[in-house]
Structure 1
Amino acid sequence: MNIEHLKLFVRVAATHNISLAGQELGLSPAVASAHINKLEDNLGVRLVHRTTRKVSLTEEGESFLPHAVEVLCSVEAARGAVGAGDSIPTGTLRIAAPASFGRMHITPALKGFLQQYPQLKADFRYSDAIIDLVEGGFDVAIRDAQLKDSTLVARKLAPDKRIICAAPSYLAEFGEPKTPQDLVNHQCINLMGIETWSFDTPQGMVSIKTSGSFRTDNGDAVRDATIDGLGISLNSTWNAYQALASGELVQVLTDFSLISETAIWAVYPSSRLIAPKVRAFIDYFHAYYGQPPYWDK
């Protein structure tokens, strides 16, 4: 089975376009189509549905995709192992990451990372949606969450400490909550899906269903609205640390820690071997963030 054909198939699955996938790999549309045909002939099954507008995977193609990704990861890692593991990461590294975290804590470090590994190219997708690594053809994803998918291998890059914040102007007008229960009398700015805030108290866990006049699906918007005095919010320190340092935000309810099992994770598809470019990325950013991470110092 031709490895280049597998690479093309994985990119076709991600782009839903044979010509575009071929262009990414330096192939003409005719050659790319021929390669997919050869792969299908070799396997004896049809892998893709072709239409004039788009390409989609057949049921057999969907079943074959994770195995193709696994083979490519193993081949790249095996090549890297030759020479006692002193391989130089090469190729294109495809990464998915949350938009806010990526803008604040990945993009500023990319120059140093790519200077250290000049034979690498970085292809990023910044989105707050959970991206399917295999279907999207990504090598690694950054997740700011509690991990649930056991089919992925994960390495913790940094803790995700979460705190309750408010602007001094809001506290001057409406007062400061002294207990979690006081939040029911305040305007709370919510990130969609995190309306219930759970606290560790002397009486055990206390969960407060918060509400207010504004909620959003974007963490930057939560922080900025809090700075503007619109209400009290739950924020990750990696997102709010600059506003805390400048005094635009202050932490409240400091005697009551939030209960959260989230962290900043690097996840990649399960494989016995990790590709050198993936290992280079994970090791670099783990060291770059530090323990504790720079935003918590």
Structure 2
Amino acid sequence: MFSQDVQTFLAVASAGSLSAAARQLNVAPMQVSRRIAALEEELGVRLFHRTTRSLTLTAEGEAFVPYARAMADAEAGARAELNPASGAASGVLRMTAPSGFGQSVVLPMLPGLLEANPELRIDLDVSDRQVDIVGQGLDLALRIAPLEDSELVAKKIAANPRLICASPAYLEKHGHPATLGGLDQHRCIQLNSVGRWPLVVDGKPIRKRIEGVITTSSVEAARTAAVQGLGLALLSYWDVFRQLADNSLVRVRLNDAAMEDLSVWAVIPSRRYVPNRVKVFLGALQQELSDLVERCGPPYGDQTPVPRLPE
């Protein structure tokens, strides 16, 4: 019964009222009230402030939320491990992804994922800001930038090298830059987050200053500007793989410099009690990326893989 009480607590905390939680759980409101009362008695604390008009978490209730989620996730994970037939994902997957990768890869795969897992819900933050996944109570973060959170668990999902690209119309009009110095004669599209373009020369990382004819904070805007023929853009493979496949963008290679090697990383708070919904999502994501590479080509094309930057 304790696990049912915990599930009820999470439903009430999420819904904000007993009646809404009852509808979500398909039980009577009185049953919800009794389960919350039983849980409070078991824990010896009051979890909610109740008035005739509102219901809010107490400080103890706020503190109990992550533990309740961990218990619910552990139970769901055990059921999935012990009974593979019941391994479909369920519950709310709270996650964050970079804007470009989220728009080009994650969102298009969600219809199939949700159809295969009808009890699954997605709470997706598509943003280029680095989110504190522990503090925000997230299950998963997909990240492109080099990782800084040493206490988190990270798994490499796919290669995602940066590349310089431009539209065929731009290159026909302005020519192909062949060297690092040749970039100075070209119009460039600059992301606010990448003030200088990171490149690799003779195995060493450098930062190339460029003059942006357009500067934007949005990967989608930079990609659109490049497709429209407004200049060269430095983006990562999974930001532009569709445009490379349909030839609306062309990869530009330099003779004396290689591109920085990045990866797509899945970051989770802990190895313990990884929710089944996270495992199911990551399995679907890896399959999606494998299918896309087969249809659109590998990240490096016919180029020798970019050497890793020095540790």
Q: Same fold (TM over 0.5)?
A: yes
SS at match of 2:70: helix
When structure 1 is superposed on structure 2, of 125-134 and 66-75 the one drifting more is 125-134
1:135-284 map, 5 Å: 138-202=138-202, 204-255=204-255, 256-260=257-261, 262-284=262-284
Q: Helix, strand or coil for the counterpart of 2:242?
A: helix
Which residue is equivalent to 1:89? 88
What is the TM-score normalised by the length of structure 1? 0.77
Post-superposition Cα deviations, 1:224-262, rounded to whole Å, max 9, x if no partner, equal: 0111122221112222122223332222234422224x3
State the match for 1:17 in structure 2.
16
CA contact under 8 A between 1:181 and 1:208: conserved in structure 2? Answer: no
**What displacement does 1:154 show?**
3.1
The answer on whether the counterparts of 2:73 and 2:273 sit within 8 Å (CA) in structure 1 is yes
The Cα shift of 1:10 comes to 4.5
Shift of 1:209: 3.1
Q: 2:305 matched to which residue of 1?
A: none
Tell whether the 8 Å contact from 2:179 to 2:254 is kept in structure 1 after alignment: no
2:90/2:117 contact within 8 Å kept: no
For residues 34 and 101 of structure 2, the distance between their equivalents in structure 1, rounded to whole angstroms, comes to 41
Cα separation, 2, equivalents of 1:17 and 1:251: 51
Relative distance call for 1:40 and 1:166 in structure 2 (3 A) is: same
Q: Identity of counterpart residues, as a percentage? A: 31
Name structure 1 gaps, 5 residues minimum.
none
Residue 288 of structure 2 is matched in structure 1 by 288
Q: Offset at 1:45?
A: 4.1
The alpha-carbon distance between structure 1 residues 192 and 248, as it changes in their structure 2 partners (threshold 3 A), is same
Question: Is contact 1:164–1:251 with CA below 8 Å preserved after alignment?
Answer: yes
Q: CA deviation at 1:102?
A: 3.4
Root-mean-square deviation over aligned CA pairs: 3.7
Separation (CA, whole Å) in 2 of partners of 1:50 and 1:185: 67
Secondary structure of residue in 1 paired with 2:64:
helix
**Could you report, residue by residue, the CA deviation over 1:15-35 in whole angstroms, capped at 9, with x for unpaired residues?**
583469725444677766765
Deviation at 1:207, TM superposition (A): 0.8
Q: SS of the counterpart of 2:194? A: coil
Contact conserved, 1:195 with 1:211, CA < 8 A, in 2?
no
TM-score of the pair, normalised by structure 2: 0.74
CA distance in 2, matches of 1:42, 1:277: 29
Provide structure 2 residue ranges, at least 5 long, that are not aligned to the other structure. 299-311
Which AA in structure 2 matches 1:198? P
103-112 or 28-37, which moves further after superposition?
Answer: 28-37
Per-residue deviation, 1:223: 0.5
What does 1:57-136 correspond to in 2, within 5 Å?
58=59, 60-83=60-83, 87-96=86-95, 97-114=97-114, 117-118=116-117, 120-128=119-127, 129-133=129-133
The alpha-carbon deviation at position 222 of structure 1 amounts to 1.0
> Distance between the aligned counterparts of 1:208 and 1:274, measured in 2?
41
Contact 2:177 2:252 in 1 (8 A): yes
Instruction: Report the CA distance between 1:89 and its aligned residue.
Output: 2.0
User: How far apart, CA to CA, are the structure 2 residues paired with 1:177 and 1:21?
Assistant: 61
For 2:19 and 2:151, how far apart are their aligned partners in 1? 29
The number of residues matched between the two structures is 292
Secondary structure of 1:251's partner? strand
Work out whether residues 18 and 32 of structure 1, in 8 Å CA contact, stay in contact via their aligned partners in 2: no
- Counterpart-to-counterpart distance in 2, 1:146 and 1:49: 43
Pair 1:203–1:145, CA change in 2 (3 A) = closer
2:198/2:205 contact within 8 Å kept: yes
